[in-house]
Every structure is written in structure tokens, then in C-alpha cells.
DNA sequence: CAGGAATTGTTCGTGTACTAACAGAAGTTG
DNA sequence: CAACTTCTGTTAGTACACGAACAATTCCTG
């Protein structure tokens, strides 16, 4: 019973806690992204990518698909619209909804950035051997839930 | 050559990218933390915990130890000072430095929160079997770098 | 010792991220 | 159909997080 990872016993070192390491891993990824794709934030790219995948979506639906709450997705879409990458119009069937779709420019940018996005994913996983990366992604997916 | 995880070929699905899943995993952890320790943010707790571990530190040094840049740690420390959890004074040897130490109240709060902090780490890892969690933490550490 | 370089901390601006509160529209049920 | 509930989007407030620019201090090197 010397297990330091026990939930109620043993020492607590910040550097060994999942949350802390998760935050650092995320930081490293964000830094790689900012270096390779300086013109778009990871969040903005996620929204654009998902919208291109789906073709269209309501604002909140896109938020759910990209794990952003209503307040967050609004700011992200505002910025993408300001840059002409996303078009918005009131939904005809449902007056509450904002119907979103990527503009031509948005689709072109997405296509142009795809290789670099793949690169970023590879670079992020670079410290792991290929099989390790596969295992890691499976476990990480479990951890993320939903 | 059908490997979708190839860095330059194959399809790109946002939902399969490390960065995206990393962000969701982090979100889940933050939610657990906010639920179990509503009085302190994860970042504030990290700063307080590290300062209690070290006993004392300069502001920037504490920032490095907790993976926060100078601008970020400043805000965090300001809030902890305002709540009387951290004491600050100008360093005698180096006039640039702000010497930080936890107050008695800060140490007591840290001690009181420790069990819940351990709980949060356990809950975060709960979707994984014990051996899976161990493997995951090793790989995650590699990914975080430094 | 003098002058350039590095370190420490601060401020500003931008961009997530979440809570809470709100208004308007749509759906549900008695 | 009317009341209730849910869903959609918006706003305001707080808190990370980082780049860039800056002043003061200390360090280093010629």
C-alpha cells in the first residue's frame, strides 16, 4: 500500500497530476499550431474545419460539434465572419437559428491549411512511437468522454 | 498505404486530431475541478500548491514551475494575494524580484483542499483501468515535453 | 569600470472559455 | 388555445493564456 497515486493517501506532487500535465500537453500543442498556422487560432480552425465537413450548421449546433458553448462559438464565428471565411443568414424555417456556411474563401483556406494541420497533429505526437501514439489516442479519447 | 493518420495523406477528421481531443479532455478535467473545488480555479490551485511545495519563490520562478508565462502568473498571484492566500514582498537581494510565500491561511487552505485535489485526479482518470491510467500518464508526460 | 545583454516584473491587446441572466421563437401538454 | 418548457442566440462579467513592448535592475564581458 505504498501507492502514491491513491486518491486519498500518499504524497501529492503537482507535477504528477493529470490535470497539470494535460494542461502542459495542450500548451505544447497550441504552440506548435501557432507556429505552423499563425493566421488562424486552433479554435477558429476547428470551427472552420467542422463547418466545411458538415457543409452547413446552425451556430449552436456547430458549437456542440466543436465542443464550444454558445458564448464561445459566438465570438469565434464573429471573427471568422469578419474575415469573410464564414457566411451567416437567418434560418428560414426556424427564426431563432443562424444558418452558417463556409464561403468559397473559407473552403479554399481550409483546403490550403489541411496539409499543415496534418503536420501539426504529427508533430504533436512526435515524441511517441507510432504504436504508442495509437494507444495514447485511444486512452485520451476515453478520458475526453462523450 | 491506407493510413489515415499519415501526416500528408488520407482524410482529415477534426474529431480524430490529437489537439481537438486534448482540448476536450482538458475541458472535462476543468469541469470536474470546478465542481469539486469551486472556490479556486485549477490555475490558482496549481500556483498555491507549488508555492506550498517550494515554501517560497519569486513570481516569475513560480510561473516557470507552474507553466505560466509572466503575464499570466501575475494575474493569478494578484488574485491569490487579494484573498490573503499568498504574501509578497520586494526581494532584499534582488530589487527586481517579488518574493512570494504562502500565508498561514494559504497553507491551511492548501492542506484542506488536498483530499479533494486527489479525488479530482482520480475522477479524471476514472474512465481508464488502473494499468491504462499508468500507461496514459507516461505517454502524456512525454507529449507534454520538458 | 563601462556598455551591452539578460532577467524581472508590468501593461496592453486579442482570443478562448465558462457562468449567469435574458429575449424571442418553437415545441409540448393539459 | 394557453401555459409551460425547451431551445437559440446574445450580453456581461471573470479568469486564463500568450505576444509584444517597456522600465528597472542585474549580469557579463571586454
Whether residue B143 and residue A25 make contact (CB cut-off 8 A), yes or no, is yes
CB contact under 8 A, B140 and A53: no
Residues whose CB is less than 8 angstroms from the CB of residue A8 and which lie 6 or more positions away in sequence, other chains included: B115, B118, B119
Positions in chain D where some atom is under 7 Å from a protein CB: 7-13, 15-21, 24-27
| Pick from A23, A50, A127: CB nearest B145 | A127
Contact A55, A86 (CB under 8 A): no
- pLDDT for residue A114: 97
Identity of the residue in B23, B124, B143 whose CB atom sits nearest the CB atom of A127:
B143
| Residue-level pLDDT at A146 | 80
Cα–Cα distance, B90 to B146 (Å, whole number): 30
Q: Which three cell numbers stand for residue B46?
A: 496549481
B125, closest residue in chain A (CA to CA): A143
Cβ contact, residue pair A19, B121, below 8 Å = yes
Contact B47, B56 (CB under 8 A): no
pLDDT at A41: 98
Task: Give B139→chain A minimum CA distance, Å.
Answer: 7
The beta-carbon contacts of A60-65 under 8 Å, at least 24 apart in sequence, are A60/A97, A62/A100
Under 8 Å between Cβ of B52 and B102: yes
Alpha carbon distance B12, B8 (integer Å): 10
- A27: which nucleotide lies closest, measuring CA to C1'? D17
For residue B137, the chain A residue with the least C-alpha distance is A18
DSSP string covering A29-96: HHHHHHHH-TTS-HHHHHHHHHHHHHS-EEHHHHHHHTT--HHHHHHHHHHHHHTTSEEEEE-SS-TT
Q: Provide the grid cell at A87.
A: 457566411
**pLDDT, tens digit (0-9, with 9 covering 90-100), for B63-120:** 999 999 999 999 999 999 999 999 999 999 999 999 999 999 999 999 999 999 999 9
| pLDDT tens, chain A, 146 aa long | 444 445 556 789 999 999 999 999 999 999 999 999 999 999 999 999 999 999 999 999 999 999 999 999 999 999 999 999 999 999 999 999 999 999 999 999 999 999 999 999 999 999 999 999 999 999 999 999 98
Q: Which three cell numbers stand for residue A82?
A: 469578419
- First-to-last C-alpha distance (Å) of chain B: 33
For B58-70, how does the pLDDT look when each residue is reduced to its tens digit (9 = 90+)? 999 999 999 999 9
| Pure H helices in chain B | 18-36, 42-54, 59-65, 70-82, 104-125, 130-144
Q: Does residue B3 surpass a pLDDT of 90?
A: no
Query: What are the tens digits of pLDDT across the range B11-44?
Result: 899 999 999 999 999 999 999 999 999 999 999 9
CA distance A64 to chain B (A): 12
User: CB-hemisphere CA count at 13 Å for B74?
Assistant: 4
Nucleotide nearest A61, from its CA to each C1': D8
Q: How far is the CA of B103 from the CAs of A21, A129, B10, B20, B64, in angstroms? A: 26, 45, 55, 39, 21
Nearest Cα of chain A lies from the Cα of B91 at a distance, in angstroms, of 26
- Please state the pTM of the whole predicted model: 0.92
Q: Which residues of B touch A76 (CB under 8 A)?
A: none
Cα dihedral B107, B111, B113, B115, rounded to 10, equals 160
Q: Report the residue from A20, A118, A145 with minimal CB separation from B7.
A: A118
CA-closest candidate to residue A133, choices A144, A122, A142: A122
Report chain A residues whose CB lies below 8 A from the CB of B146. Answer: 24
Amino acid at each position: 500500500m505504498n501507492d502514491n497515486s491513491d486518491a486519498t493517501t500518499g504524497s501529492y506532487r503537482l507535477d504528477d497530476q493529470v490535470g497539470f500535465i494535460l494542461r502542459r500537453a495542450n500548451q505544447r500543442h497550441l504552440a506548435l499550431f501557432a507556429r505552423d498556422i499563425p493566421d488562424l487560432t486552433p479554435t477558429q480552425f476547428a470551427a472552420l474545419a467542422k463547418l466545411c465537413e458538415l457543409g452547413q450548421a446552425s451556430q449552436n449546433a456547430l458549437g456542440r460539434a466543436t465542443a464550444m458553448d454558445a458564448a464561445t462559438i459566438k465570438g469565434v464565428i464573429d471573427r471568422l465572419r469578419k474575415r469573410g471565411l464564414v457566411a451567416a443568414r437567418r434560418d428560414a424555417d426556424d427564426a431563432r437559428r443562424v444558418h452558417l456556411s463556409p464561403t468559397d474563401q473559407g473552403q479554399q483556406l481550409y483546403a490550403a491549411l489541411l496539409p499543415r494541420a496534418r503536420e501539426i497533429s504529427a508533430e504533436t505526437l512526435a515524441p511517441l512511437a507510432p504504436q504508442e501514439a495509437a494507444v495514447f489516442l485511444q486512452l485520451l479519447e476515453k478520458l475526453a468522454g462523450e
